[in-house]
Amino acid sequence: MKPTDKPGVFITGIGQIKVEKSNEKSLRQMGAEAIRLAMHNAGIETADALYVGNMLSGMISHQQQLAPIVASEAGLNGIEAVTLEAACGSGGAALRNGFMSVMSGMCDTVVVCGLEKMSHHDKDFITQSIATASDWEIEGGKGESFVTLNSGLMRRYIDNYKISPDAFAGFGINAHANANKSDYALFHKVITLEDYLNAKFITDALRIYDASPICDGSAALVLSKYPPTNSKVPTVKITGSGAASEYVGIANRRDPLAAEGIQRSGAKAYQMAGITSNDVDFFELHDAYSVIAVLSLEAMGFAKQGEGWKLAMDNEISLAGKIPVSSFGGLKARGHPIGASGVYQAVEAYLQLTNQAGANQIQKEVKTGLIQSIGGTASSIITHVLMRD
């Protein structure tokens, strides 16, 4: 069965703005710009609904009701407009909501937008705001941040599998190498193994190159029940979608290194698309921290538990590797504008599958891509399978 014959939803347009340390435009202007680009790319003037992924606007911009405001700014006043929040997985949640709306038959065409602006507040306030995605009673409220929580996971992994902190180097090196080729990425700096090894430790085993930056960005795409009218590029369809959860507090989990929530989400997406990990050509994973990239590769079937780091060490995650990841820099180097990251992943996967990735094009034929958006330390997980005809 061809991908276009499988049940699913077509991607008919994409739009993205450059990820920046500080974007001078307002939150609504950033979202509207990405939406207009996607709609122009799709050749449409309106849609049935808009779903916006965002985590922090209520806390740091004093703006709830974000989706209707962005809709109006983009010229879509009056349509269904809803904001989705799943912490750092908010973009993936918006994409899944859009996917389900079209799959259910309730909408023919929807726009999905991921959006976050974090540059207008001091770093400490942003760090504390992001920490609300932890279990506040036992983590954030006790002084934990996502830096310390992920550092703890990394330390647990290092001690459990008896490896060096240096084993994570390949993820940051790969991400920066790919971001350096992309006009939309925040960082344009290639780092070497020596740079990684000499980088300062933020806390315990976690270096600065193991963590994603605070930044601003927005990306959007158009989903439709109908294939695109533009026959110049291959058709791309979302054929699988899966969501799952895990205890938010790491201490409550049976085995934090097993990443059971990621496994559950991935299994649902694989089953819906009718594939296994062997069919996946590339993986846009949620590399907000290197340890999450490792756990995702293992949980999704690309490496045995305790061996995901070897894929980076052996250069198998590069554009020429067995399972390319972070092909445009990922969250680490493209940047992680929280609510937008999951939508950037979808845009980037679409570019790969339609051979429009330019200098970032994966160096083999790609027909099936996997994207995964994660909230918290792998507590809200949304996975999608994209396939080209």
Global model pTM greater than 0.75: yes
Q: How far apart are CA 234 and CA 355, in angstroms?
A: 8
Confidence grade of residue 43 (pLDDT, cut at 50, 70, 90)? very high
Contacts of 108 (CB under 8 A, 6+ apart): 48, 102, 224, 225, 226
Whether residue 148 has pLDDT greater than 60: yes
176, 189 in Cβ contact below 8 A?
A: yes
Q: Which of 40, 88, 176, 384 is catalytic?
A: 88
**pLDDT for res 123:** 84
215 part of the active site: no
b/e burial code for range 129-156 (CB count within 10 A of at least 16 → b): bbbebbbeeebbeeebbbbbbbbbbbbb
Is residue 230 over pLDDT 90? no
| Class of the CATH domain delimited by 3-388 | alpha beta
Higher pLDDT among residues 122 and 12, named by residue = 12
Measure CA 190 to chain center.
21
How far apart are alpha carbons 290 and 309 in whole angstroms?
9
d(CA 219, CA 116) in angstroms, rounded, equals 10
Residue 88 appears among annotated catalytic residues = yes
**Which one is catalytic: 176, 286, 336, 384?**
336
| pLDDT tens-digit readout, 262-315 | 999 999 999 999 999 999 999 999 999 999 999 999 999 999 999 999 999 999
Per-residue tokens: 194: 């020596």
Average pLDDT, the chain: 96
The residue extents of the domains of the chain are 3-388
Asked which of 170-174, 226-230, 300-304, 338-342 is least confident by mean pLDDT, the reply is: 226-230
Among the ranges given (111-125, 166-180, 335-349), the one the predictor scored with the smallest mean pLDDT: 111-125
Q: Which tens digit of pLDDT belongs to each residue from 190-214?
A: 999 999 999 999 999 999 999 999 9
